[in-house]
Every structure is written in structure tokens, then in C-alpha cells.
Amino acid sequence: DQQVKQNSPSLSVQEGRISILNCDYTNSMFDYFLWYKKYPAEGPTFLISISSIKDKNEDGRFTVFLNKSAKHLSLHIVPSQPGDSAVYFCAADDTANTGNQFYFGTGTSLTVIP
Amino acid sequence: DVKVTQSSRYLVKRTGEKVFLECVQDMDHENMFWYRQDPGLGLRLIYFSYDVKMKEKGDIPEGYSVSREKKERFSLILESASTNQTSMYLCASRRGGSTYGYTFGSGTRLTVV
């Protein structure tokens, strides 16, 4: 059973506009969330994270929002650039669980059109 | 620069071959993971290890085994490769008990013919 879901397999955005990528989760014990970015033929790289004690975290053009009551997080990229074109995975963790594994969504492929 | 190194970027193997995928990390991380990535299916956990000689099954362990004889090295073994194991394989490591994320290797694109 998929505990983390990204319901949009793909997204296209014009350069300079906002990209919004969404992620939903089912496990209320998840308390730490991350976004990874992946280019073809490369490993994923860490982008931004958020703990459940916050509802927003910013890093430059990237902002992650967390809505715990809705079990929903989103990644905003403003302004979007062609180099942002990649697959984005959200991941969630229950840090009290000693398993130390993240649960990943299925990914959203973002295309930023110049 | 800390890193996770996967021994091969691309591999082509024949059906029925025994395949070894090697992963080495230099960060002294306790936890190591093997995932495969397939279109539309995201990242699926095959096996993970939280200590030397320890291993735990992930979501899709069938057809795979692992070995962790040293803390820095985690090997994925395909006992008898099949065409449905053609995939991108990703190794990751993570410090134990932390809120840090994974560090991933560059991946191995395995094609079984």
C-alpha cells in the first residue's frame, strides 16, 4: 500500500512562472518530509526538508508547505527555470521508528518550457 | 566531499547470470539501502541494512539478496537475473537516528537481455 502519493505524474510550466508539486501521505506518524530532485541517469539529490513542527520551510526559490491536518505537502518553485526540469520525489519518515527508511512517492516529472 | 559510490553506471547481463551491484559510502553511516526506480512506480525499497551483517527486507526483495560484511559496503545480488529486473538501481546511505536525509549514489542502469 502506497503510503506516500504523488498524483500528478507530470507537470509543464513556463519559465519564470510558479511550479507547484503536490504530495499526499496516509501515515499520521510521519513527522519528517523531504523533496529530492532527480535528473536522468543520475542519483536523486536532496532539495529541501521540513519537520512536522513547522508548516513552511524556504530555501531560495524553493518552499515546502506542510498541512498536517490534510496530510499534504507541496513544493513551490518560484521562478521556475529550465534547469529545474527533472523528476521530483517527495519522501516521508516516521523518525520514532528505528527502521530509518524513507517512504517515497512515485515522482512528478517537471518540464520548464523556455 | 562525502559520497556514495556505485561501482558501475551501466551494466548489461544475460538472463540467468548472477549479478553483483556494489555500493560504498565514506560517511561512516550506519544505514544503507537499495532501491530500484521504474517509470510510474517511483523508488521501491529492495533491502536495507542498519548495521554490519544485518539486513532487512524491503517491499520487493524477491529475486534479490544482499551482503554487508563491512560498514562502508553494501552489495546487492541478483541470484539469477531475469528481464523483469532491468531497471535503475540506486544505493543510499543515512546516518542512524537522525533527521538527515539519504545520500544517494549515481545509480546503476542494469539491462538484462
Q: Could you tell me the residue range of the domain that residue A83 belongs to?
A: 4-113
Asked if residues A30 and A93 have their Cβ atoms less than 8 Å apart, the reply is yes
pLDDT in tens, chain B (113 residues): 669 999 899 999 999 999 999 999 999 999 999 999 998 888 999 999 998 989 999 999 999 999 999 999 999 999 999 999 999 999 999 987 666 789 999 999 999 99
- pLDDT per residue as tens digits for the range A32-47: 999 999 998 889 999 9
Q: Domains in chain A: how many in total? A: 1
Average pLDDT, chain B: 93
Q: Identify the pLDDT of residue A95.
A: 82
Residue A62, domain CATH:
2.60.40.10
From chain A, the residues in CB contact with B102 under 8 A are: 36, 44, 46, 91, 102
Q: Identify the pLDDT of residue B103.
A: 92
Q: Is the minimum CB–CB distance between B33 and chain A shorter than 8 Å? A: yes
Q: Is the minimum CB–CB distance between B31 and chain A shorter than 8 Å? A: yes
With 80 as the cut, is the pLDDT of residue A60 above it?
Answer: yes
Q: Is the minimum CB–CB distance between B50 and chain A shorter than 8 Å? A: yes
Residue B111 lies in a domain: no
Residue type for position B113? V
Q: Could you tell me the residue range of the domain that residue B46 belongs to?
A: 4-94
Q: Domains in chain B: how many in total? A: 1
Burial state string for A65-89 with b = 16 or more CB within 10 A and e = fewer than 16: bbeeeebebbbbbeebeeebbbbbb
Interchain proximity B42–A105, CB inside 8 Å? yes
Residue B103 lies in a domain: no
